[in-house]
Structure 1
């Protein structure tokens, strides 16, 4: 495994893989597999890197890191970040509940989402949480509910900046340009409808427009993308300023997320094989472009809260996935020499395809981490799918009972787990130093069937 780059809180001691100060083989034995494991210290370290680096380049105002709850919507994980001082962006009622249970101060929560019920809007207004409007009708809903409550709704416009000068392909879908995808994606208010909305604020006395929000996503690591995005945001701020009147200026500007993780090991991004800039590069281009752009349109960045919404970049390297080899198969007939390692995890737990010629994540044999990786083997999952997690991938000679780990599974992996084959979903533990604790218990078979209802007429069968 000498070619596998590991983050500083993963190490090999006496042949075994450790996360922080704990042996992963012992974690697997004590808590069972398959299992998601999160390092608290990596997560906090990643948050502080964003907070401190961006703040260094933005002395005139506050940087507010609004970590994407969706990357790992676990209450205890959210409490770790809350304790560290991190805010959060929430998409929908479930993520808002995660933030509230996670102890996030209301002023550091944003309620996002393309379809918002009256209930979630009412809850946000009542608690003083700002709402990111995603369609033109939500303005009227906020006015109606805020008036009923006798309160003021604080809202932001989720805009779709048009990056006319950017001819870069998307890392998600290389056949398409970023500027096209950011216009055709479902979320955000179409610019033509933003223009329709601006005069309406004068008729909404219970609604205060506090800022603008955008979120392009992980389309590119290149600083030129961020420069074009932020400049386009500023261009729209000017248009909103003119359209709303009353010398309006934003108190909050969110440039969204889409930052790559340091090692950029991404199962959902098609193109990652080019240099990942340093965080300082992102911080410098975003803050300078915003500052200079605001000055050019006659507005000041002084005192403006500048929000960033990292997801992958904060969570990805904080997690690993442990699983075990339960059977070995070896075909030597018909001129073949082919091995399979049957494991207790699955593509449906990892949100990957059924045939992975290259492993979707770096793969380590936890109890043989220092051995020679020279034996081709199919590492396969437990479901009835093809479920080939790694095809003829070179590993140490595996045996029944070996513990394996996929690295860099901390973001957007566990939330996608499902119950294919009626399988219970794995649990999650949190590691800090030499301490390991449950933060989400494994699903039981009874829980898998807890929503099933049998009509009376079928009960006598």
Structure 2
């Protein structure tokens, strides 16, 4: 057995069961990378027609690269999938892009161009959507603690839907709509009691958490809304979690929520009207559709998800003898996650020996010039990612590696488990796929590290859509620095 193969087998004692030893540690797993990703004749990773080394020469590292065509295509396919599924039952569907996954003015415009609406959950996200030219009527506003000024701004600009989350918020809206003399349409967020089969912190439909009303409390909340002159009730909202594969959870949750929906129909609680003046009950089932972060992940295709979820709702409506409501969905990660690839430069490598109890195994640590400041998800959730050499193809066999960042934290892990070529060396470029969602939005300046730029690529061209920071930008926020009298380096 060659030495590199022997090393792979020994280090495999530290590998999780889901991580298979690859035949080629340079391959790009389908579904994990953007469809445009491939290697050129020199072995370099190419995204949307641009080699990774060229991107790095222009924009430096780290850099988050977004394949614009992939993002636009995923948005269009998502809208088409849910629209077609609803139309087969004589209904209609709306899709809101969940801006919390990643929002910039450019991305908001991509979503609107594709026919989607936009979901926001803060004054800042609302400001970005409006700055992008998103019509306020096509915006949904989420959040468990919308501050008074945020609600005022939403009502003032004519946000299409506010998803109310508490009794206090209902009273705030009552006062605001009366003071501004403006009508406002709302949905009531409910907890169906269905838990997403995912990480505990990502499951958002169980009772012991901060979002929404229980089904019983939601019915009382709708009664209170019905008493308000300027607040119109459009329907119910339920989001069961994130990174979900399959439709079983959505089916069970829809069944429970439709019980309440049917009672509210009987009580004639729906007051929001459509363009023709008729009442249009809405059922928003949120998002949370999963993507592949590693080759072991098998996400459900969006068309299959749409058919399964809409069929389940239609079946439950038929059982109850009620019409299919307007269905709404809020995907974010499944649209923008896979189009994103983060490029890093390797700084150092080292190997450590680990006593497994039955053998001494070896793991290699590959340090890159980013980390938890540009991707907090591994530290927050134990999220798993993949990695590949981006500047060339490796010539040595696979070695179990852990990609880590430059921060002073032992938990600063970028990719926990991956097989990389044994000849990874300082100066190489490393690419981590599926970083389009929840990386840039969660980025920080930990250890005073500037946040990287976001670059959109399409048809062989690249442009910055979110500027990267410099150390000067960080110093500009420090009120203890007197820039007028600061002594330049090297001066007396």
Assess same fold via TM > 0.5: yes
Supply the distance in 2 between the matched residues of 1:441 and 1:89 (Cα, whole angstroms).
Answer: 23
Map of 1:434 onto structure 2: 460
Compute the displacement of 1:114 (Å).
Answer: 0.4
Residue 401 of structure 2 corresponds to residue 414 of structure 1: no
C-alpha distance 122-376 of structure 1, shift in aligned 2 (>3 A): closer
Choose the corresponding residue for 1:4, options 18, 25, 29.
29
Q: Residues 54 and 283 of structure 1 are in contact (CA less than 8 Å); yes or no, is this contact kept in structure 2?
A: yes
C-alpha distance 100-3 of structure 1, shift in aligned 2 (>3 A): closer
Q: TM-score by structure 1 length?
A: 0.86
Choose the corresponding residue for 1:318, options 321, 339, 343.
339
Alignment of 1:311-350 (within 5 A): 311-328=332-349, 340-350=365-375
Residue 477 of structure 2 corresponds to residue 451 of structure 1: yes
C-alpha distance 434-245 of structure 1, shift in aligned 2 (>3 A): closer
Q: Which moved more, 1:439-448 or 1:383-392?
A: 383-392
Q: Residues 364 and 400 of structure 2 are in contact (CA less than 8 Å); yes or no, is this contact kept in structure 1?
A: yes
C-alpha distance 222-20 of structure 1, shift in aligned 2 (>3 A): same
Q: Which sections of structure 1, spanning at least 5 residues, go unmatched?
A: 267-271
SS across alignment from 1:71: coil
Residue 124 of structure 2 corresponds to residue 94 of structure 1: yes
Residue 83 of structure 2 corresponds to residue 55 of structure 1: yes
Map of 2:255 onto structure 1: 231
Question: C-alpha root-mean-square deviation of aligned residues, in Å?
Answer: 3.3
Q: Residues 201 and 207 of structure 1 are in contact (CA less than 8 Å); yes or no, is this contact kept in structure 2?
A: yes
SS across alignment from 1:449: helix
Choose the corresponding residue for 1:33, options 33, 57, 61.
61
Map of 2:322 onto structure 1: 299
Compute the displacement of 1:53 (Å).
Answer: 1.3
Q: Which moved more, 1:420-429 or 1:283-292?
A: 283-292
Alignment of 1:392-411 (within 5 A): 393-411=419-437
Map of 1:269 onto structure 2: none
Q: TM-score by structure 2 length?
A: 0.81
Compute the displacement of 1:70 (Å).
Answer: 0.6
Q: Which sections of structure 2, spanning at least 5 residues, go unmatched?
A: 1-25, 273-278, 354-359, 487-492
Map of 1:154 onto structure 2: 185
Supply the distance in 2 between the matched residues of 1:82 and 1:148 (Cα, whole angstroms).
Answer: 31
Q: Residues 324 and 401 of structure 1 are in contact (CA less than 8 Å); yes or no, is this contact kept in structure 2?
A: yes
Q: Residues 51 and 65 of structure 1 are in contact (CA less than 8 Å); yes or no, is this contact kept in structure 2?
A: yes
Map of 1:259 onto structure 2: 289
Q: Deviations over 1:325-377 (max 9, x none)?
A: 23455799xx9988654321123321144699x99322111122364443455
Choose the corresponding residue for 2:450, options 416, 424, 440.
424
Supply the distance in 2 between the matched residues of 1:383 and 1:67 (Cα, whole angstroms).
Answer: 32
Map of 1:196 onto structure 2: 220
C-alpha distance 441-284 of structure 1, shift in aligned 2 (>3 A): same
